[in-house]
Structure 1
Amino acid sequence: MANTLAKVQAVLDRLFANAANDAWPQSYPADPQGHADALAEIYMPISADGGKLLYSLIRAARPETVVEFGTSFGISTIYLAAAVADNGTGHVYGSEMNDSKREAAQANLKEAGLAEHVTVLPGDARESLKEVPGPIGMVLLDGWKDLCLPVLKLLEPKLTPGALVVADDVTFPTMADYLGYVRDPANGYVSVEFPVEDGMEVSCYTAV
């Protein structure tokens, strides 16, 4: 059985080492584009364990369409794409507002041999992700935390019953509204927090 993660570990190790040197600015613009551009050098990665969880979920669920909100330098995208590649089916649609990050992510995916499995869309995800074809079987929400719920609601009409939605950094206070939404059964999700660094919420869409 294929395991592309083993083949791309050197790329992931390099990217995680770079991310360990993240130095956040003390302040940055509030508008989304200014915010993204001010953090153009910041990796903001998922944890390695979070990446393995994503890989495992996609291998098991075998979604045809995977959507990622917040590609950054492509660390999480490599895990998503590796799973799609090993399944032999599906495609990942990423989103990144900052041009230099998007170019770096594409270069990292190429180095990992996974570029053909991913399309990284430019611009505001609330616009670019409108064009992603459904049905969507897997979503990773790892962009600006106050936009995770709006992006989920944007994608919701295209979610297939049983789709998995994973949100990173759910211990952040800015994720409270998102968690309130996916943890309310009336909104059509069965949701549980997974104990990796900063927390991941794994939600199954039941399509009520």
Structure 2
Amino acid sequence: MRTVLDRLRAAADLDEDRPHPRPDADASAQERADLLAEAYMPVSARGGDLLYALTRAARPERVVEFGTSYGISTLYLASAVADNGAGHVVTTELSTVKVAAARANLAEAGLSDAVTVLSGDALATLADVPGPIGLLLLDGWKDLCLPVLRLLEDRLAPGALVIADDVSFPTMAPYLDYVRDPASGYVSVEFPVDDGMEISCRA
């Protein structure tokens, strides 16, 4: 796994220096996914280590990830599930280019059996994912993080961890307002990794 992860991280570092097209403000999620199919947009290295540690500690039977991209964050989650000896990761991605790449990367790392990669709109692909969900990672389009959480909320296990990446982005404000409101049923704290991660426990 480490060899694959190191290769992907090196490629992602190079990708940061390349110009990428900017989607129009009114572009759909699919249009954004197609336009940025070559952009890695990975979780940070410290964020990945945190995901691995939390998954090892929580030992969830089911992990759900919104936003696979090239599978860097998925590798951390799948590796933790495999090292736990139990559990499964369900991840979803809108870009067919990235779905194919993520599946290949997971296969190269020997982790395909630990992961199901779904292709398509998360609000459709995750609609029938069964619970209980012990850990949820939200790292897709930021304006969809709250709708995806609300979609899956009734399938979260008591004490489930919900982790959102890039919470410093202005488009994450509605999500943060929701999980930080005690009436929503979460205990929530921001963790200081690159661009911020919000870690919320379903109380």
Compute the TM-score of the two structures, normalised by the length of structure 1: 0.94
Letter in 1 for 2:133: I
Are residue 106 (structure 1) and residue 103 (structure 2) matched? yes
CA distance in 2, matches of 1:33, 1:47: 24
Are residue 66 (structure 1) and residue 63 (structure 2) matched? yes
Q: Percent identity?
A: 68
Are residue 84 (structure 1) and residue 81 (structure 2) matched? yes
Q: Structure 2 matches for 1:151-166, cutoff 5 A? A: 151-166=148-163
Letter in 1 for 2:85: G
CA distance in 1, matches of 2:128, 2:100: 20
Are residue 15 (structure 1) and residue 8 (structure 2) matched? yes
CA distance in 2, matches of 1:70, 1:86: 22
Partner of 1:30: 27
Q: Deviations over 1:84-118 (max 9, x none)?
A: 00011100000011111000000000111101100
Letter in 1 for 2:104: A
Partner of 1:125: 122
Letter in 2 for 1:103: A
CA distance in 1, matches of 2:63, 2:197: 17
CA distance in 1, matches of 2:57, 2:138: 19
CA distance in 2, matches of 1:16, 1:150: 29
CA distance in 2, matches of 1:155, 1:67: 9
2:91 to 62, 87, 94: 94
Q: What is the count of residue pairs matched by the alignment?
A: 199
CA distance in 1, matches of 2:62, 2:176: 24
CA RMSD of aligned residues (A): 0.9
Secondary structure class of the residue paired with 1:201 = strand
Are residue 147 (structure 1) and residue 141 (structure 2) matched? no
Following superposition, the deviation at residue 34 of structure 1 comes to 1.1
Following superposition, the deviation at residue 21 of structure 1 comes to 2.6
- Note the residue ranges of structure 2 that are not aligned, 5 or more in a row: none
C-alpha contact 2:23 2:32 (8 A) present in aligned 1: no
Following superposition, the deviation at residue 27 of structure 1 comes to 3.4
CA distance in 1, matches of 2:194, 2:74: 18
CA distance in 1, matches of 2:139, 2:194: 13
CA distance in 1, matches of 2:27, 2:11: 26
Partner of 1:173: 170
